[in-house]
């Protein structure tokens, strides 16, 4: 299915009074409904775009592919994703170059369980168009080390090769960012400062590899969980800290029972918010 199909369905829904059955609606930060085309026109001017997804949401994944294809027609693109870890970049590059096949990639890299259905189309787009695709996330074992080791100091024990797969030490960190404070609040009695630091090492590392691979005049399009870029925090905070001169665009994905009016809690979390009907099927 493509965006033309969904556009036709949405138009028919509006025409015949069944707009409540629309699978999704796009809003701007102020909660105003906008078209997909308007979102693309706004984002095509940015240096970097962070597409915040819900990992099991098919609308997120479909629009990621459509947006990638449409932006490719307008700008030189560099792609990157949370879903592949930095120490698997060599394997990913080998797949993109055609020296290994998908089966070999799947057996040598730590791909997510939903990679084949949800992320392989994006990687294959990069392969077909000969684009760089960056494995941006910290290897999960190092995020776990931060959590279990009580903080960033646990990373000091890593070898130089291992340190090349994370953001440069020492890690900048602001525990007062609302997103990190909300994490602590949501986790209640299970919350510890080190669990938030484990989130921060992911954010910092993704930002590091985005900037490391960015080239002036290109757009870097990054796919990540919405929480990593919501409210212009997380990855965006680290990006702006080092490159405040660049133009950033953000997308988030939310679920609502009624997609016809964006709920107050979802306003302002990104430049564009994809509001998906909560009855939408999931990919896992």
Taking 60 as the threshold, does the pLDDT of residue 227 lie above it? yes
The mean predicted confidence, pLDDT, of the chain is 93
8 vs 25, higher pLDDT: 25
**How do the domains of the chain map onto residue ranges?**
85-135, 139-215+231-267
Name the nearest CA neighbour of 59 among 136, 131, 134, 5.
5
Q: Which residues contact 128 (CB under 8 A, 6 or more apart)?
A: none
Q: What pLDDT, on the 0 to 100 scale, is given for residue 13?
A: 46
pLDDT over threshold 80, residue 98: yes
Residue 20's pLDDT band, with cuts at 50, 70 and 90, is low
| Nearest-angstrom CA–CA distance, 273 and 277 | 13
Please write the tens of the pLDDT for every residue from 146-161. 999 989 999 999 999 9
C-alpha–C-alpha distance, residues 184 and 154, integer Å: 21
What mean pLDDT comes out for the span 236-248?
98
């Amino acid at each position: 299915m493509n965006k033309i199909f969904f556009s036709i369905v949405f138009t028919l829904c509006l025409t015949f009074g069944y707009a409540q059955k629309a699978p999704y609606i796009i809003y701007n930060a102020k909660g105003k409904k906008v078209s997909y085309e308007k979102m693309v026109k706004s984002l095509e001017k940015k240096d970097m775009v962070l597409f915040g997804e819900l990992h099991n949401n098919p609308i997120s994944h479909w629009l990621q592919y459509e947006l990638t294809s449409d932006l490719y027609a307008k700008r030189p693109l560099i792609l990157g994703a949370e879903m592949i870890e930095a120490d698997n970049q060599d394997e990913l590059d080998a797949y993109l170059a055609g020296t290994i096949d998908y089966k070999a990639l799947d057996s040598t890299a730590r791909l997510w369980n939903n990679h084949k259905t949800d992320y392989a189309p994006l990687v294959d787009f990069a392969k077909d168009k000969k684009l760089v695709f960056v494995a941006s996330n910290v290897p999960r074992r190092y995020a776990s080390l931060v959590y279990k080791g009580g903080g960033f100091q646990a990373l000091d024990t890593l070898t130089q090769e291992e340190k090349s797969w994370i953001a440069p030490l020492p890690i900048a960190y602001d525990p007062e960012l609302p997103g990190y404070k909300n994490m602590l609040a949501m986790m209640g009695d299970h919350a510890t400062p080190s669990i938030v630091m484990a989130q921060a090492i992911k954010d910092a590392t993704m930002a590091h590899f985005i900037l490391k691979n960015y080239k002036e005049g290109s757009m870097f399009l990054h796919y990540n969980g919405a929480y990593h870029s919501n409210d212009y925090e997380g990855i965006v905070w680290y990006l702006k800290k080092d490159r405040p001169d660049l133009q950033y665009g953000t997308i988030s994905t939310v679920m609502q029972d009624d997609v016809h009016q964006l709920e107050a809690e979802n306003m302002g979390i990104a430049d564009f918010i994809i509001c998906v009907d909560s009855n939408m099927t999931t990919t896992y």
